[in-house]
Amino acid sequence: MRTITKNLLLSRHLCCKSALTTLFLNSLRQKGQYGVFLVQQHQDYEFKKKLQGRKRTLPTSTPPPQFRHERLLIKQMVTASDIIQFLEKMPPQDMSVYAVAIKRCFELKQPNAFHQIIKLIHQKNISLSIIFCNTVLHYLGFWNKLDLQKKLFEQWFICKQFAPNTAHLDPDEISLNEMIKGCSKRGDVKQALYYFELLI
């Protein structure tokens, strides 16, 4: 009888221990998932902070009211491919529409779409503006797309390759500062000095 009672107590103890172990492991898993959630939340918060900082530092101009509908549509799009398709189907628009497209792709963390948008602008012979150019250079620098940043700077400001109806564009302080920042990321002192000389 004692042996049976002892065995029953032992089995109950083992069952309780097993249940507690399961509860403990589940608790650890939940804590781990919560930790991952907190890290993700923190990263999203930091990204939003950076984004807000970028918004404050970039110059803005008042966009024309006649393209407000198109700009609002782009702001609501959730993929870069939707934005590209929308721009492809639209007739040549004001530069502000493409600036919003660039900004939206930046918010969607899709910097690879920048090149396609810029290609469309050139294909449609749309007149560039210094604000648009600086915005593109800035966002490319943010995503470390430094080769494309350099290529576009050369194309726009050195070789003057843009639409025939674009007024003469020269890099301003913002353009050159963006390029110098890109050089500092690469550790390219020689190229940074080149941009600095253009600045002075």
- Tens-digit pLDDT profile for residues 10-52: 444 444 445 444 544 455 455 555 555 545 555 565 555 555 5
**9 vs 178, residue with greater confidence:** 178
Domain assignment present for 181? yes
Distances (CA, A) of 46 to 42, 52, 109, 199: 6, 10, 14, 32
Q: Can you give the pLDDT at residue 94?
A: 78
Percent of the chain at pLDDT exceeding 70: 64
The whole-number pLDDT of residue 182 equals 92
In this model, does residue 78 exceed pLDDT 80?
yes
Structure confidence at residue 44 (pLDDT): 60
Whether 29 is covered by a domain: the verdict is no
CATH number for 130: 1.25.40.10
In this prediction, residue 160 has a pLDDT band, given cuts at 50, 70 and 90, of confident
- The predicted structure's pLDDT at residue 174: 94
Rounded CA gap, 164 and 96, in Å? 19
Domain count, the chain: 1
Question: Is there a domain that residue 43 lies in?
Answer: no
- Judge whether 137 lies within some domain: yes
Boundaries of domain holding 181: 66-199
Tell me whether residue 104 is in a domain.
yes
Q: Are 79 and 154 within 8 A, CB to CB?
A: no
Domain membership flag for residue 18: no
Mean pLDDT computed over 73-86: 94
For residue 12, count other CB atoms closer than 10 A to its CB: 10
Within a domain: 3 = no
- pLDDT of residue 56 exceeding 50, the answer is no
Residue 118 lies in a domain: yes
> For 88-99, what is each residue's pLDDT tens digit?
988 877 788 999
